[in-house]
Amino acid sequence: MSRTDRRAWKSARTLADLGQLTADWLEGRRASQPGYMPNCGPDEETAELVPSLVALNRAGFMTTCSQPGVAETGYDGAWWTQHAAVEGYLTDRVLYRRILDAAEALAHVVVVDDPQTGRRDEVVVVTQRDGEPYTAFGARPGPRDMRNLYGALHREARRELAGAIHLAVIAPYYGPASHRALWRSLDQVTGLEPSDTDDDQADADDDQEPAASR
């Protein structure tokens, strides 16, 4: 990691600071982020998700991992199925409630680890290779992993992460259709897309007859 990036991450004190820096990394404004290969940007499959991830990070949900929903033959000739999913940390309980409400409305799966309430859900397999489990989301890193991932951060930022809610939101089915539903619902939470209520109101406004001219 460059000295400039190291200083930037070291200056972060809050989860909001970390989210802003993560958004900068996603958009290519930062070359590196903690816990990731230095001078490497997001994975190729993340490219289409960048606007959604940036919006989540700037809203207060610091994302640490995400994936699109797919059902296809992979690079190795095996059949890969992925549930669209995202996970990370947040301390804003209003945002947390909004994400949970959006997930519940569409039957998305949530995995919560909340130090404040003691809730700790089981991890969920999100990727399979030829029908065998390959990747799971929802596991909160332990103390040793946290030191390895975020040891370069200021202690106040590490304290924020330790007390934050660790949240994963997962599409209930694998493949593109469920992928679109998951990311659209998250975009509505962050305001990147209008909510269904806004769409309904716009349709209602369009249906009204124009007022008579005077």
Helix H, strand E, coil C: the string for the chain is: CCHHHHHHHHHCCCHHHHHHHHHHHHCCCCCCCCCCCCCCCCCHHHHHHHHHHHHHHHHCCEEEEEECCEEEECCCCCEEEECCEEEEEECCHHHHHHHHHHHHHCCCEEEEEECCCCEECCCEEEEEECCEEEEEECCCCCHHHHHHHHCCCCHHHHHHHHHCEEEEEECCCCCHHHHHHHHHHHHHHHCCCCCHHHHHHHHHHHHCCCCCCC
Q: What confidence tens digit (pLDDT) does each residue in 192-204 have?
A: 999 876 554 444 3
Q: Is residue 142 part of a domain?
A: yes
Task: Please give the model's pTM, rounded to 2 decimal places.
Answer: 0.89
Average pLDDT, the chain: 90
Q: Is residue 31 part of a domain?
A: yes
Q: Is residue 125 part of a domain?
A: yes
State the average pLDDT over residues 121-138: 97
Structural domain count of the chain: 1
Q: Is residue 203 part of a domain?
A: no
Q: Give me the pLDDT at residue 214, please.
A: 27
Q: What confidence tens digit (pLDDT) does each residue in 34-44 have?
A: 988 888 888 88
Q: Give me the pLDDT at residue 197, please.
A: 62
Range of the domain at 74: 3-195
Q: Give me the pLDDT at residue 38, please.
A: 85
